[in-house]
Amino acid sequence: MGIINKLKINSIRQKKCFTLIEMIVVIATIGLVLPALFSIIFSILQQQVKIQRLSIVKREGDYVLNVMENTIRNYGESIHSATPPTESNKICQSSSLENASYFKDKFGNWFRFYLNTTNSISSESSVLNNGLPGSVSLNSSQTKITNFSIQCYRTSLYSPPVVNISFTIEYNTTSLRVEEKVTPLTYQTKVKLRSY
């Protein structure tokens, strides 16, 4: 009986242990699955970065366009090539397309939008910051703006001028890596000045 019990115990011990081949198969499987898993996780993180950057670009582009459109629509009365706004430097008198520089508001003050040296659209006004002249950047340093244009034209001689605003906004990065690039967004709108 002692020999039979010893054989049973030995066979039970052998069944509870892993063989060398089983260990090699497990290690090889883990070695194949882990790089694929890390690759998937890395790809998801890259896409999250792209989505976050695109969200920043879209949010700032919408904000810049909204501020310019509402300011011109609600306060713009006439368009001028220089400051102070006078009848002699008034533009958009005919149907031709002209570059707009300064807008005269209904209170006799002026304001303008321009692309500054840091690739940001700035708003400048004769009355800003509690009556002091100055300029304010409309987008943050996270984005840069190119191809900025404000043009005006008239549809007919007696109609108010129509202002055409367009610009391209993109994430401000110096990286050349494709996975870090975000497709630039182009904004364009038309605003008809109110007749006062």
In order along its 196 residues, the chain shows pLDDT tens digits of 566 666 566 555 556 677 888 889 989 999 999 999 999 998 888 889 889 999 999 999 999 999 999 999 988 888 888 888 888 888 887 767 777 788 888 888 888 999 998 999 998 887 765 555 568 889 999 999 999 999 988 888 788 889 999 999 999 988 877 767 888 999 999 998 876 5
Tell me the pTM: 0.77
Instruction: Report CA-CA distances (Å) from 157 to 15, 75, 99, 105, 162.
Output: 98, 22, 18, 21, 12
Looking at residue 168, its pLDDT comes to 96
Peptide bond into 84 cis (omega under 30): yes
Looking at residue 84, its pLDDT comes to 80
Other beta carbons less than 10 A from residue 14's beta carbon: 9
- CB-based contacts of 160: which residues, under 8 Å, 6+ apart? 154, 192, 193, 194, 195
